[in-house]
């Protein structure tokens, strides 16, 4: 019996690979977007403008204080109300970007705030513009603080892509769901799904551990 | 070169600069001393607007620093600032520290900037440390790099905020020597310090501050030997007994 299921599984393995490809796409695009957005927000959050800081703070609190699955539904269902039709894939990317950038924003702001005020002053006093101070002096130093938790966050975000299966995006978890309907060997199906996630996450976990050790020195 | 007119500044309720009037000429060496919390550091930090003021006027080399609309990038590039805690960039080598502003602010090509930087490192006596990182240097060496970093911009004015206060005693001399050499080159300098020997040797004028006010100014020898106010006399006796 087991052998029979296994051969079925081999038969539909290409289907899993498609799911993996979709998951990788969502992960890659949303990680890139989250990183850019997260850095911009994080830099603004560590800045002097109180209003901007407050607004970003509210945004971050909202994202942290609500389940991601609810955020996905909000993005997927609220935009059509305003006449914006999003495909499930686009909604998934948007929800990921909103959620991920909030977490990365906090990591970046934390890193920047860890740099002593004197570093800003030294830059200011020598005539560097604010952007130059950030680019040449502050961010390169803050990266030591930012990088280990950032890569850790990447792992969490990759795993969170499984949530967008709820709006029907045919990524890895969704493929698992669809498959168990046909092959009632749930353990085997979802073990395979799990292994495929692990294959993408594990290198990043190793990288995060490595960075943590290196940056601690 | 530098002019303060009725400058007032508050930190919350604390009146840190109380109606400060001051003129510093080109080529003048001014030493500012006074008890801690007297406003002397704040005073020189106002010159390049590391601290904003609330009232009055500060004009430096013709630029109205007090005016919030003034873009200070250009002026700041012309003023070297040396901090008590050095504030070198820890992620860069000594050479990169000194080259950073010339390349990015003055837009000097990097080979030329390196030449300037090495020249300034020779001037502060650190030829062999160009490739080292700040953390590998002693305090005195770090402060000399900080001075070279300021000089690499060919500044019109050098400001020193207690440049030797964070140093071990045996390193103070090497930093002061570099500063004395600068004086002989005719640099306009404002130095917040309690180093009386330095003040006597090179200062054109000593300015004594207390509670945000300029209490007394005078030639160094007159000031130290024959202070006109009680507070100055009291202060001098305290730094002398240590």
pLDDT > 70? residue B241: no
| Domain limits for position A150 | 2-216
Set of chain B residues whose Cβ sits within 8 Å of the Cβ of A127: 73-74, 76-78, 101, 105, 153
pLDDT > 90? residue B118: yes
At A151, which helix (H) or strand (E)?
helix A139-160
Q: Are B101 and A126 in contact (CB under 8 A)?
A: yes
Task: Give me the residue from A127, A137, A140 closest to B105, CB to CB.
Answer: A127
The average confidence (pLDDT) of chain B is 93
Chain A residues within 8 A (CB-CB) of chain B?
A: 116, 118-119, 121-122, 124-129, 132, 136-137, 140-141
The model's pLDDT over A108-166, given as tens digits with 9 standing for 90+, comes to 999 999 999 999 999 999 999 999 999 999 999 999 999 999 999 999 999 999 999 99
User: How high is the pLDDT of residue A26?
Assistant: 95
User: How high is the pLDDT of residue B199?
Assistant: 93
Q: Does residue B59 sit in helix, strand or coil?
A: strand
The average confidence (pLDDT) of chain A is 91
Q: Which residues contact B98 (CB under 8 A, 6 or more apart)?
A: B117, B120, B121, B145, B148, B149, B152
Structural domains in chain A (count): 1
CATH number at residue A16: 1.10.3720.10
Question: What is the predicted ipTM?
Answer: 0.93
User: How high is the pLDDT of residue A185?
Assistant: 81
Chain B residue closest to A119 (CA)?
A: B87
* Least Cα separation, residue B35 to chain A (angstroms): 23
Tell me the C-alpha distance between B12 and B215, whole Å: 23
Tell me the C-alpha distance between A151 and A147, whole Å: 6
The model's pLDDT over A160-208, given as tens digits with 9 standing for 90+, comes to 999 999 998 999 999 999 988 888 788 888 999 999 999 999 999 999 8
pLDDT > 80? residue A3: no
């Amino acid at each position: 019996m087991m052998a029979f299921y296994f051969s079925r599984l081999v038969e539909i393995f290409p289907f899993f690979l498609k799911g993996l490809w979709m998951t990788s796409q969502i992960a890659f695009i949303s990680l890139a977007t989250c990183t850019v957005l997260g850095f911009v927000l994080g830099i603004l959050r560590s800045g002097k403008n109180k209003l901007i800081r407050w607004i970003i703070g509210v945004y971050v609190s909202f994202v942290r204080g609500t389940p991601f699955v609810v955020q996905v539904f909000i993005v997927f269902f609220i935009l059509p109300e305003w006449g914006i039709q999003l495909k499930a894939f686009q909604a998934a990317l948007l929800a990921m970007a909103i959620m991920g950038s909030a977490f990365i924003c906090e990591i970046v702001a934390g890193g920047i705030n860890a740099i002593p005020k004197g570093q800003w002053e030294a830059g200011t006093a020598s005539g560097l513009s604010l952007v130059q101070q950030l680019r040449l002096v502050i961010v390169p130093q803050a990266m030591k603080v930012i990088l280990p938790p950032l890569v850790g966050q990447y792992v969490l975000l990759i795993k969170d892509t499984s949530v967008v299966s709820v709006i029907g995006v045919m990524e890895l978890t969704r493929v698992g769901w669809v498959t168990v309907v046909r092959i009632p060997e749930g353990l085997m199906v979802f073990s395979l799904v799990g292994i495929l996630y692990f294959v993408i996450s594990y290198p990043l976990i190793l990288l995060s551990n490595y960075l943590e050790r290196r940056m601690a020195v | 070169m530098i002019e303060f007119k009725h400058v007032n500044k508050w930190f919350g309720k604390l009146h840190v600069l109380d109606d400060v009037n001051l003129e510093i000429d080109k080529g003048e060496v001014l030493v500012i001393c006074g008890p801690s919390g007297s406003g002397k550091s704040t005073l020189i930090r106002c010159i390049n607007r590391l601290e904003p003021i609330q009232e009055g006027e500060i004009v430096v080399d013709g630029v109205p620093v007090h005016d919030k609309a003034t873009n200070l990038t250009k002026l700041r590039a012309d003023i070297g600032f040396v901090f008590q805690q050095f504030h070198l960039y820890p992620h860069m080598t000594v050479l990169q520290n000194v080259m950073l502003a010339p390349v990015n602010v003055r837009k000097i090509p990097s080979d030329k900037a390196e030449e300037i930087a090495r020249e300034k490192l020779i001037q502060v006596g650190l030829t062999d440390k160009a490739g080292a990182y700040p953390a590998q240097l002693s305090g005195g060496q770090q402060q000399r790099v900080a001075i070279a970093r300021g000089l690499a911009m060919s500044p019109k004015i050098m400001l020193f905020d207690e440049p030797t206060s964070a140093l071990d005693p045996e390193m103070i001399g090497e930093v002061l020597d570099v500063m004395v050499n600068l004086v002989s080159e005719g640099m306009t300098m404002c130095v917040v310090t309690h180093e009386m020997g330095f003040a006597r040797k090179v200062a054109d004028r000593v300015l004594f501050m207390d509670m945000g006010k300029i209490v007394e100014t005078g030639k160094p020898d007159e000031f130290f030997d024959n202070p006109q106010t009680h507070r100055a006399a009291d202060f001098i006796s305290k730094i002398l007994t240590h």
